[in-house]
Structure formats: structure tokens, C-alpha cells
A and B are shown apart, each in its own frame.
Chain A
Amino acid sequence: MSQPTNFRTVGQTMRKKDSMQLLLGKGVYTDDIVRSRSPLVVKLLRSPHANAIVQSIRTDIAKKVPGVVDVYTWEDVPQKRFAIAGQTFPEPSPYDRLILDRHVRFVGDAVAIVAAEDEKAAQKALKLIKVEYQVLEPLLDFRTAKDNPLLVHPEEDWFPPCPVGGDNRRNLVASGLEQDGDVDAVMADCDIVIDRTYHTRAFNQAMMETFRSYCEMDVYGRLHVISSTQIVFHTRRILSNALGIPKSRIRVEKPRIGGGFGAKQTAVCDVYPAFVALKTGRPAEIIYTREESQIAGSPRHEMQVRVRLGASKEGRIRVLDLYTLSNSGAYGEHGPTTVGLSGHKSIPLYTASLEAFRFGYDVVYTNVQAAGAYRGYGATQGLFALESAVNELAEKLGQDPTRLRDANMLREGMYMPAYYGETARACALDRCMERCRQIFDWEHKYPVRDMGDGRIRAAGVAMAMQGSCISNLDVGSAVVRLADDGTFNLMIGAADMGTGCDTVLAQMTAECMDCSVDDVAVFGADTDASPYDSGSYASSTTYLTGKAVSEACDKLKKNLIGIAAELLSCPEDSLEFVKGGVKELGGEQRFVSLTQLAVKSQLNSSHTAEAAASCASPVSPPPYMVGMAEIEVDTRTGVVTVLDYKAVVDCGTPINPALARIQTEGGIVQGIGHTLMENVTYGSRGQILENSFMQYRLPTRLDMGKLQVEFESSFEPTQPFGAKSIGEIVINTPAPAIAHAIYRATGVWHRTLPITAEQIALGLET
């Protein structure tokens, strides 16, 4: 579909509405807002053991520390299990947590809660809690977890709200199998079969603002939560489940958020200050240290993906067989759902030539940090595996890997059996490839070049896709209101976590109401005042909440025509909404301005100058992307320097091109991080060794080479502005593209991330 060009505000680059406040350092984040209320400091005593039972716990000495208000243990908390994953009810994630559990399941699991007047008292109390553990053997290798006699969740009250193939007696969070066509027959008929296994680790989102939440009892005696969260409504339900109080007694709001990337799609820390506020009646705040965020957060699922790819000798990809083993860690948050994307958001890329596919998976419990949602959500892992396997096929056949993809890739109009049976209504993947080849200068950069002194330059390529919401499930909502002075208020339940969705949705409002973006004031998100929205995740806000904005605006226009009809004493069907007000179609062509309408709506009026809309979607249109990397490998040290990264993205209509570009650049750099330098390894006790930014090395501005991003737009017909998503897909291409380039330079395929200099140097020795 081609893109209509008649938008005024949509498609324009403009500043985020909160830019200047953020750049000038105003106090707009959780702790900035609440610290003047002198909240109790909440700290957690964490388990040093990966698997242990608390035999006895003494808190009497700790409680005597001056300034300590109380100390809570497993004996003090409700004994009903819940999940902290931010998902629509009933959640696919198992109810396998307690606020504090006698059975601790990873190094860092919460053992006790300390509430104190200040940090020092809390720290002192932590040291004075005496715990005796019955230390159990930990289950640390996820490859041996399924049906292992060591059980991570042996408890009787483990509860899965959805049937997702989980079984706590088998260490299974979920399992499944889906297929189309006769995989074994087609595979047997293939000239060439690539059978490879790939491994990715539990990478950390490492958002700059660590997990934090503040809770107080409000004037009505309700629990009022101010949390750095992507999911205010889900957090309300999670707290209700955890604390055993009605949802109506809880209000959750989010201020500005210092980054999320999915980490804050899980209520990682809210239950602790909420419990303290309920118990003490006093405001309470928890702020995770960077170490806590690294070891007890909600990182990416470690996955091992086996790809069996069958092709003809001409390079036609005829059959794909993926099996993903996913490590959910100690708890099951997002386990059943992330694994699905490793197949659903990779296999469909090769729809054009595919005769059959199979996708099987197991998600297992182990005694390491529980995983959760991280940008890409399983697609990142699956695409590293499949795109690497396709590159291995091309290299084996001696074909240009971009041309091989041209011959196999999904194209507009195709029905996708591996993608929920949806049709690719808007797909510019072919144009993305063509354009990326051009701007990257693939013809000249793909050949391996020896630069002398052991330095070799080479290039690699990868494609990616994602979704634009969770179809037939999640809900996006908007309320649009005419304000007194003829401007508009937009109320949302989606969470701007720095992505700019407040601005993007305001642009859509301005487009619909034919006004300036400056005349749209955005409010969100607050469970007491926002319309219900699942929250900002699953790449859904632009697509789904954007759709709701458009529908709410349509309804508001009708309401405003109603008010104008009353003012003018004429029938509604003789009026139309125009820029700045409502106009009579014929007759005297009388005009009522928005300000007049606003005044009238507040004076002897029974019309509401407000409209709400909620949307779900039967489809989740994929965005598409091609990424190409040029690197230089120093074969003496194994050090890889990323020289050049070019990407072309089809996200439908980019609503705000500057913000779409920054999303893409940011995602690529995160991808470079988990490809080359971010690592997660465990010590003998199961403790995470990369527990600070000293060890967990994020890319700096010296690590990412030159980035260039372009858009090949399509127009998604199921969205009023033709938009799809951008936030997640952008993290997916670096790992397979750079791994490909490293192979080109060194002759060694690296199938485990990250590919560190050490790994490369060792690979060259053998």
C-alpha cells in the first residue's frame, strides 16, 4: 500500500512535549517527586543461596536498631501465590510467587523486608537479621532442568491461570508444539540441511533509572502507588493479588520513567513498599541499587534455539524446524509468551518459499534470576538463530546472502501460516533490502578486505520482524476532551517511558482535531483517571492506542456537533467539524469556534465535550527491517570494531520520524551491546558475576561506529494513520549481522552471545 501524503501533523518531526524539562534536569521522576514526603526506606535482605529453605530467622536484634520501624519475614506475609508479570488477566505466567517465601530460589531472592527511617538504619538492620538456611542443591543448568528430580517449585499451590503446557513437577513453565505441512518429508527431500544450535544469555535491560516504587495511604485510606512502571493497571491487579486487598483500594500512577525496555513491564519491586505502607500506615519507598537491578530484576530469557533448515541446492528455503529451550529462572514471568516469539517472529520472514515448518518449545525453571520482558521479547533470540542459519546456508552455497533472501523473503499480500494465519497487508521488506544494499554499498563491503597488520574488514546482514500489539487480547484506550480555551486534553493509560508516546499520540490527536500539537495536553498514566489500557509493551502503543485516539476524536467531533446544534438551534446533520470549530454546511454557513463550544459545554449543557474509545485488534501487523554491519576484526587480539551500521525499517507510517530514528539507533546500539560486550555468567553458587556496570559493560559512544537509519514506509490499512510499531524490532538485527561479519573475517561461526574478543581470539587459535 502506498502512503497517503495528506497528513498535516502525523509524519512530522517535532520535539517531545517533555524534552526541555528532561534536558534541563527538572525533578520529574519517582524519587524526585516523593522524597520530600520523607518516606520510610525499604530494603531487602537477599538470599546468598540459589536454593534454600529458611529454617529460622531472628529479627529481634535488627528491630532494636534506632530508626528501624519494622522487619518482616515469610511468616508475616499473605500465603497466596501471584505473578508479577504485567499481562492481561488471566495471565499466561504462573502464580508462583509470594511476597516473601520460605523457600528461596536464586541468589538474590528476597528473605526479609526492612523498613527504617533512613538508609543507614536499614543497612545496619540487614546485617543484624540472623537466618539459618537449609541449603539445597541448586538447579543451575537449564539444559538439564526438564524432568530433573530437583524441583524449583515443588509447592502444592503452584497455579497456572492459563493452560500453557506448564507443570511444576517437571520444572516446566510452559511447552508447546505447532506445525504446518509435512516437515519430515520435506526435510528428507532437501538437497541441503543446516542443523545448528544457538545460545543467547539473560541480558539486562540496564535502563538508567533502576527499579523503584513509592507507596502511601491516601486521604481515603487507599493505597496510593507512584511507581516507575510501564503497566499501571496490571500493577494494580498484581498488588491486589499479592496483598489480598480489593483493586478498588489501590491507585497506581507513573511519573516520568527513566527507561524501561520491558524491565518495568514486571512489577519487580512494588509489593515490598506496598506491604510496608499497609502495615505501618506510613509512606514507604524502595529504590533498587544497580546491583539489585542486575541480579534481582527481570532480564531477557536465556535461550537455546536449534534450527534445522532445509533448502534446495539453488538456495530455496523449503522447510524450517525450530526448537527453543528457554530459561525462565526461578519464577515464570513472561516465560510462556516470550518463547513464542522466537518462532512466530522469525519463521514468517521466509514465507515465500516455505513448504512446511515446525516450532516446538520448552520453558524451564532453574535456580537463577527470573527472566521477564526485554525489548524484542524472544524474537531477538529466535532471529539471532534463524538469521545466522540463513547466513550459514548462503555461505555454504557460495551465494550472496542478500540475494538469497530476495528469493525467499516474505512479500506484501502473502498469507503467513507461521504468523497466526495473518496476511502481510503492508510489507516493504523487499524495498528495505534493496535500499539497505544501496546505502551500505553492499557490493563493495561484502567482500573480505585485508587491511594489513592482522586487521580484516568484513560485512554481514540480517532481517527482522516483530508485532504491533497482542492481537485479540490487549486493549488500548484514549479519552479526548475539549478544554475551556478551545484546546484539547488527551488522557491515556499507556506509559511514555522516554519513547515519546505522549507526543506521538498528541500528534495523532492534533491530526484528527485539526489543531496544533501544542494545543494537546497529555495526561497519563493513573489508574484512577486514565482510561483502561493494557500498558506500554508488545510494541502496541502507536498502533493500538493510536487507533483508540483516532476513534475517540471521531466521537468527540460528533459530541461537539451536538453542542453546536444546540447553540445554533439547527439539526446536527446540517453541521460539520472544521478547523477551529463547527460550521454550518449550507444556509448562512454559521461558524461556532471551539472556545464557544467549550464555554457552552459548561453552561446549562447536557452534552459532554469529551469522548472515550477503547480498541483491541484482530491482527498484529509486523514491522520489518534490514540491518547491515561492517566491522574490523583485529585477529591478533580478537577485538571487533563496528565501523558502520546501516538499517532500513518499514514501520508503516513513521508518526514522528526523529523519534522513530532515535528508537532505531538506540535499539541497534543495545543490540551491539549484547552481541559484543554484555555478558551474564554465574559463579559456582549460582551468583551472577556481572552485578555492576564495571562487569556488565554497556556500549559507550566509542563502541558503536557510524549509524545510519532510513525508512521505507508502507501504509498499514488497519491503522488510521498507517502506522505499525518501531520500539522492539530495532534490537533484533545486530547479533546475526555482526556474527555473520565476524565469520566472514575469521572463518569461524560464533553461535553463542556475546561474542567477546576473547572468544574470537580463542576461535582463531584452533
Chain B
Amino acid sequence: MEITLTLNGRTVTASISPDLLLIDFLRDHGCLSVKRGCESEVCGLCTVLMDGQPILSCSMLTARAAGHSIYTLEGLQAEAQEFVGFIADQGADQCGFCNPGFVMNTIALLRENPDPTDDEIRAFLAGNLCRCSGYEGQLRGIRSFLNTRNAKKEENA
């Protein structure tokens, strides 16, 4: 079947098999940030944004994305760059395999709730598993980003 969708802001038309999962479509279209971790909607590694909302691309048919806008980390580099350095400062990137999904969901969080509490961060990102970091470093990184940004805002106010 032929579908058209918007991928990272560009219109893409492709002929696909009806059972093609979105994650495989995305990886075939050069979006290598999208990772498969569990195949059972548990780990959050394959998180991408559909019409701005985080979804799990391992459990979504590509056909269902037809006519919608999909963003992967490849298309949101600038937005990610605002905060990921703070996570790097904590050493919390570790093996990195879960990072794209976790970063995508953090983008979704910060768009929805620009100034979350620690508990709100934990709750929003609960579906993003990480086996390396123990999560505390990721939280410290996001917290440090928010504190730095808020301090700058106050300075400018």
C-alpha cells in the first residue's frame, strides 16, 4: 500500500507492506536513533512523537501513521541539545542505547510541563527503562538543566 506522512518535517510517500511496524519504517528511512528494546511496549526505547505526542513505534503500524506527522530524534536535534549536555555532565548517558527514547520522552515532558517537579519527571519517564544508570543521574541532569535555565530566566527578568 502507498502512504504519505510527514517525517521530521518532510513529506514522505512510500509503498509499504500493511504489516510494517513504524519502527522498521523509520529505521529504513535513516532514523537510526529509533531503537528496539523489548517488542512488548515495556521499555520505551522506540519512543517517537506522532502529532507531538510520544508513542511507541514498535507497536504501531506504519499504515496508522499515514497522514500524520512523525518526529524522531533526528528531527529534534536542536531541542535535545538544550538539555542533553546536562545529562552528559552526570555521566548518565552510559551505553546510550536507551538515550534516544528517553530524550524524546523528555522533550514531550518539557513541552507539556516546562517546569516539572522531580516526582513529575519520574512519573512521566517511568516507561523509559535504563539498565545502566540507575536513573538518579538522568534525574540530576534534567534537574540541573531546569535549575540553570530558571536561574538564567530570573537574571533576565
- Interface, chain A (partner B; CB < 8 A): 13, 15-16, 18-29, 32, 35, 205-210, 256-261, 289-291, 497-500, 656, 658-659, 661-662, 664-670, 692-694, 698, 700-702, 704, 707
Contact = CB atoms under 8 A, between A and B. Distances in A.
Interface stretch (B59-67, B86-94, B109-117): B86-94
Given A20-B88, A208-B130, A661-B137, A257 B99 contact: no
A604 B138 CA distance: 52
Interface of B is mostly: loop
Interface string B101-140: 0010000000000000000001101111111111111110
B133 A666 contact: yes
Interface of B: 27, 32-35, 37-40, 42-43, 45, 72-74, 77, 80-81, 84-85, 87-100, 103, 122-123, 125-139
Closest 8 CB pairs of A and B: A498-B95, A25-B33, A22-B96, A258-B97, A27-B32, A665-B134, A19-B88, A25-B100
B115 to A, nearest CB: 19
A23 B96 contact: yes
B134 A208 contact: no
A643 B144 CA distance: 23
A24 B134 contact: no
A661 to B, nearest CB: 7
Nearest to B102: A23
A497 B77 CA distance: 24
A314 B7 CA distance: 71
A290 B96 CA distance: 18
28 contacts: A16-B93, A19-B88, A22-B95, A23-B88, A24-B73, A24-B80, A25-B32, A25-B73, A26-B32, A26-B33, A27-B32, A207-B131, A208-B35, A208-B129, A209-B95, A290-B38, A498-B95, A498-B97, A498-B132, A665-B134, A666-B94, A692-B39, A693-B38, A693-B42, A694-B42, A704-B135, A704-B136, A707-B134
Contacts of A16: 88, 91, 93
B84 A23 contact: yes
A741 B132 CA distance: 25
A659 B99 CA distance: 16
Contact of B134 (A19, A21, A261, A668): A668
A701 B122 contact: yes
Contacts of A498: 93-97, 132
Contacts of A707: 134, 136
Contacts of B40: 290, 692-694
A662 B96 CA distance: 13
Nearest to B95: A498
A208 B89 contact: no
B27 A500 contact: no
A665 B137 contact: yes
Most buried by A among B33, B122, B134: B134
Given A666-B132, A698-B129, A702-B126, A208 B80 contact: no
Most buried by B among A24, A29, A656, A658: A24
A289 B39 contact: yes
A18 B96 contact: yes
